[in-house]
Structure 1
Amino acid sequence: MSGEPVPERIIVLDASPAGESVGARVAALQGNDLALLASARQPGHEGIGALPVMLETCLNEAGWDAPDLIVVVIGPGSFTGLRTTCALGAGLAFGAGCPVVGVTRGEALAPFLDQLVATTGLEGWLCIYGARRGRWFVEVAAAGADVPGDIFAVQSGVWQPGPGIRVLAGDAAAEAADVFGDERCRVSPVCEADFKSIALAGLRRLRGDMPPRSPLPLYVDPPEAKLPRSGLRATPQ
């Protein structure tokens, strides 16, 4: 985006947390210093449903008719939350005529975690997030890597990382540290990205400083769908 104006008004949408941490948050940030003008958050599945209202509230409090950039956290995390935020971000971007970019939770934390790994000399970092049915979502990066690596789901309390000592972040970092043991990990003092970190990651992606990634839900697990108790209806004749 060389030569293009830097976005002044940025909206952040995040409803990625799953499991016990499920919820949603929205923020409006402005200027080169990304000053926080307005924010709203609500826990639980009700928070996901309230995203449009929280978005409208933030726009009104910021005094904006429309943003210049929308940054959506695309995962890993809640199927419903990711689908809702990506759809809402795409719709707002279409109406406002502005770009929308997606970032992962680990990408937003990467600058801090990379520096922590470099200063401690550890093998890399793991972002570990609670998922449904006793599972974790894991986002991993090796020391010195330009971008985070694989994202996958594992059984919590059973899975172990490879050899070496790693920095742990994410909403399940403390739980994972109890499983791995002190000799295998160090819990980061910052485990979740704040609004500014998410916005900065979005700007890096917009500038081309990070590899392209579509602002679409990053589904790690398939959706949890069940057949009706009475079974499917017969095919119309």
Structure 2
Amino acid sequence: MSKMTRILVLDGSAAGDAAHGMAACVVQTGDAYSVVAQTQSAGKQAAEGIGLLAAQVLAQAGWQAGAESQPQLVGVVVGPGSFTGLRASCATAAGYALGVGAPLVGVTRGEALRPQLEALVTEAGACDGWMLVTAARRGRVFVETGQGVQAVALADWQPPAGRWLVAGDAAETLPMPDGALLRSDITTPTAEQIAHAVCARHAGVLSPRDALPLYVDPPEAKLPAAGLRSAPV
């Protein structure tokens, strides 16, 4: 009989109009992944309150504190995406992992979607690769490929040569020359896809990555209008 692994999955990465929070309890049995319980709520507030969503799905799955069954692995989407959503979801995931003594694993949106995107690239043929485009602020987007993530200003975007599969919740905003792209309606990884990437990283199939927010841009900080307080005497 195949070994079963219980995985708590959290995703608060989506930003802008697509912002939402998602929590799911997923079971891995062999090569198959099945959702036992899942809840999702739209809006920035949902991502910030992802702890409540996690508590709901754990109760629905019977994996809550004190229950006989507990998560054996905690996975979280580390970005790219919402600064606040990433901070909240990564902190919540770390708390649950510590509480149940389970490993904590982080994956990016592109890592979770990569098998599906690469399958579409292969199916399309004569395609140089994929880009996953997600919303950022101030006229910018995050562009993730198999080589990493960058934040780009749409006004300064220089499309790479070749033909690309472009997906993501902000794919329509990315200027590309006619005939240079294939658009996909794939936007957000499913709980099963996230769990698959989490297990791949935990097994060493994917290279190591800390389960910390992937901040493509440095955090913004402004000095108080009245200046800094004097040092204590």
Provide the TM-score with structure 2 as the length reference.
Answer: 0.90
Separation in structure 2 between the aligned mates of residue 188 and residue 181 of structure 1, nearest angstrom: 16
Separation in structure 2 between the aligned mates of residue 20 and residue 6 of structure 1, nearest angstrom: 40
Give unpaired runs (5+ residues) of structure 1: 141-147
Separation in structure 1 between the aligned mates of residue 172 and residue 108 of structure 2, nearest angstrom: 20
Partner of 2:39: 40
Separation in structure 1 between the aligned mates of residue 84 and residue 26 of structure 2, nearest angstrom: 25
Partner amino acid, structure 1, of 2:121: V
Q: Which one of 125, 148, 159 corresponds to residue 130 of structure 2?
A: 125
Tell me, what secondary structure is at the counterpart of 1:91?
A: helix
Partner of 1:143: none
**What do you get for the CA RMSD once the two structures are aligned?**
1.6
Report 1:220-231 matches (<5 A).
220-231=216-227
Tell me, what secondary structure is at the counterpart of 2:217?
A: coil
Cα distance, 1:7 vs structure 2: 5.2
Partner of 2:228: 232
Q: Which aligned segments of 4 or more residues in structure 1 are displaced greater than 3 angstroms?
A: none
Partner amino acid, structure 1, of 2:223: L
Partner of 2:67: none
Is the contact made by 1:102 and 1:216 (CA closer than 8 Å) also made in structure 2? yes
Are 1:205 and 2:201 an aligned pair?
yes
Cα distance, 1:6 vs structure 2: 4.8
**After the TM superposition, which of the residue ranges 81-90 and 128-137 deviates more from structure 2?**
81-90
Cα distance, 1:31 vs structure 2: 3.8
Separation in structure 2 between the aligned mates of residue 77 and residue 83 of structure 1, nearest angstrom: 10
Is the contact made by 1:7 and 1:68 (CA closer than 8 Å) also made in structure 2? no
Are 1:135 and 2:135 an aligned pair?
no
Tell me, what secondary structure is at the counterpart of 2:232?
A: coil
Partner amino acid, structure 2, of 1:204: A
Cα distance, 1:198 vs structure 2: 0.7
Separation in structure 2 between the aligned mates of residue 37 and residue 52 of structure 1, nearest angstrom: 18
Provide the TM-score with structure 1 as the length reference.
Answer: 0.89
Tell me, what secondary structure is at the counterpart of 2:156?
A: coil
How many pairs align? 224
Tell me, what secondary structure is at the counterpart of 1:8?
A: strand
Partner amino acid, structure 1, of 2:81: G
Q: Which one of 70, 94, 102 corresponds to residue 98 of structure 1?
A: 102
- Sequence identity (%): 43
State the Cα deviation string for residues 47-68 of structure 1 (Å, max 9, x = none).
1232111111110000113211
Is the contact made by 2:10 and 2:24 (CA closer than 8 Å) also made in structure 1? yes
Partner of 2:81: 77
How has the CA–CA distance of structure 1 residues 231 and 21 changed in structure 2, closer, same or farther, with 3 Å as cutoff? farther
Q: Which one of 6, 20, 32 corresponds to residue 9 of structure 1?
A: 6
Is the contact made by 1:7 and 1:69 (CA closer than 8 Å) also made in structure 2? no
Q: Which one of 114, 120, 125 corresponds to residue 110 of structure 1?
A: 114
Is the contact made by 1:151 and 1:220 (CA closer than 8 Å) also made in structure 2? yes
Is the contact made by 2:48 and 2:89 (CA closer than 8 Å) also made in structure 1? no
Tell me, what secondary structure is at the counterpart of 2:218?
A: coil
